[in-house]
Structure 1
């Protein structure tokens, strides 16, 4: 059942992506011939209006088939008023962007929904002050609770740690000690740590550890929006950096995963509860959106590139260039899919 839930969640992410394309296409008057979740033979199909809605046999993708647009034949053209190819380059770019943007919007909504209301957080209460570190020199003591940093309220240990790590120079901390509030100044120390990609990076620390005290904090609409936007931005940045590190060789190709890995991780996340599962769904949604913007001709990003060329130069790419670039794009895409599948099977066989 948990595996089924993971597949349903993945299918929903694909549905939301295709829904973006569908709504943008309909907004510009483009006829959508097929809206399918999954590939291959259609299990269920029903026609409403001009569109055939289908659930196909292989639930590992989906597609919107617009009139005049064909991934298998990039040279096909149709100049009917309700055709995709009859629209201006800018309109086509909006249609192409809508899918990835819907995935990022979905992630934002999930993060905001998770943040809104009462939630348990690790409080910014200090359990240990490390010897010889800036916090000790500033007079901070175990049992203190950080209320503000540079005048900005901190509600959780995560909020506080984020502000310390991003610090540039001296910090002013408002701390609660017993019944009194004290203001202390501290200059963070730069140390080297490994980031998520295994690289050595410099971060600011002051030398404190949490007490482990848990509290319930209320996040209103504005706080939830701010937190959701911040999380969406940081997740997007992490994925973009991951792609860059993969291209530059910092991250080995053996780390590339396919659909099997995605479903396995989603299945595992359910064991940690609904919150962890939703956080992972949001991250995968952002991943789906950003990867579709890569400038590979078989993806939305590649088609956007072609339309940008037409928008700037006022002429379409030559048929031979368009044809061979599209073939190259599909070759790259299939190579990445097979690499992910190979790594997935390797991990299963290797335990």
Structure 2
């Protein structure tokens, strides 16, 4: 059942991505020949709005086939009034960007649903304390709750961590709740070696405490829900952009890259934790699809956007020979990345 939910979630995210392309293309009067979820041999299809809607055998993506556009043969073009090629470069860019944009918008609304459901968040309750750390020396204890730092109220572990990590070597006044007592403890964070979310060695101010894993529900007002959704969407987007950058630069090893199996497994595992976890990972994967599709790889939306930007700047379209070479190179890169992700996924599954 959990794998079925995973497949439905992934298909829904792909559907919204392609729906973005479809809606913008129809807005500019482009005829859509096929709207497909999946690649390869079609399993089922029907016609509606003068378009063939398909479900295909390989659920690794989807596509909208517009009149005059064929990724398998970029030399095949049509300049009829209702074709993709008859539109201006700016209109084509908007059609191409609408897919990734739909993923970002979908993620935003998913985070709104999460915010309305009072998501759980880490409380500023101290767990393990490192020996000889500023917290240990100052007398902090496990199960202490930090309620304020320098007079600023603290309700989440993230707020506490953010204040400490931006400290400039100054002493902090911690308001601490210990059982039924309220204490004030002063300490100065120490620059400490730790690991980033990308498993890199970094140095930042720390006090030497770990979370006790205690959570509480966020009770958000309508305005706070919208801000929560916007912040989460922006954070997820930034994190994925940084992940891609570090993967390209070699800061993150290629073996960390995952593919569709990883996506399915994570979503499947989330299903066991409840629908809130499913929505969270669906939002994250939706942002992931949006970011990856605007990368300047010729086989992806970003590559086609790059071609149209070239046409806007130079006032002439790329040559057919260049389009063919770059498109082939793009497909090679794309299939290589998919193959690497699949290889890593299989290695993780077999241990």
The TM-score normalised by the length of structure 1 is 0.88
Asked whether the 8 Å contact 2:100–2:293 carries over to 1, the reply is yes
Equivalent residues in 2 for 1:189-200, closer than 5 Å: 189-200=190-201
Asked whether the 8 Å contact 1:134–1:186 carries over to 2, the reply is yes
The TM-score normalised by the length of structure 2 is 0.88
More deviation in 232-241 or 23-32?
A: 232-241
1:269 Cα deviation from its structure 2 partner: 2.4
Q: Which residue of 1 aligns with 2:248?
A: 247
Structure 2 CA distance for partners of 1:102 and 1:183, relative to 1, 3 Å: farther
Note the alpha carbon deviations across 1:74-110, whole angstroms, 9 max, x for none: 1222222221111111111111111112112222222
Q: Which residue of 1 aligns with 2:75?
A: 75
Equivalent residues in 2 for 1:24-43, closer than 5 Å: 24-43=24-43
SS at match of 1:257: coil
Asked whether the 8 Å contact 2:119–2:276 carries over to 1, the reply is no
Q: Which residue of 2 aligns with 1:328?
A: 329
RMSD of aligned alpha carbons: 2.8
Distance 1:287 1:143 in 2: 37
Structure 2 CA distance for partners of 1:81 and 1:105, relative to 1, 3 Å: same
Distance 1:141 1:259 in 2: 44
SS at match of 2:219: strand
Unaligned residue ranges in structure 2 (runs of 5+): none
Equivalent residues in 2 for 1:141-156, closer than 5 Å: 145-149=145-149, 153-156=153-156
Distance 2:118 2:44 in 1: 42
Unaligned residue ranges in structure 1 (runs of 5+): none
Equivalent residues in 2 for 1:20-169, closer than 5 Å: 20-126=20-126, 133-135=133-135, 145-149=145-149, 153-168=153-168
Note the alpha carbon deviations across 1:168-223, whole angstroms, 9 max, x for none: 45476573658998887754322111123321111222344555554444112222
More deviation in 169-178 or 298-307?
A: 169-178
More deviation in 202-211 or 246-255?
A: 202-211
Note the alpha carbon deviations across 1:53-90, whole angstroms, 9 max, x for none: 12222222111111111111212222222211111111
More deviation in 100-109 or 122-131?
A: 122-131
More deviation in 64-73 or 256-265?
A: 256-265
Asked whether the 8 Å contact 1:147–1:173 carries over to 2, the reply is no
1:285 Cα deviation from its structure 2 partner: 1.3
The total of aligned residue pairs comes to 350
Distance 1:133 1:237 in 2: 31
More deviation in 212-221 or 52-61?
A: 212-221
Q: Which residue of 2 aligns with 1:272?
A: 273
1:206 aligns with 2:207: yes
SS at match of 2:74: coil
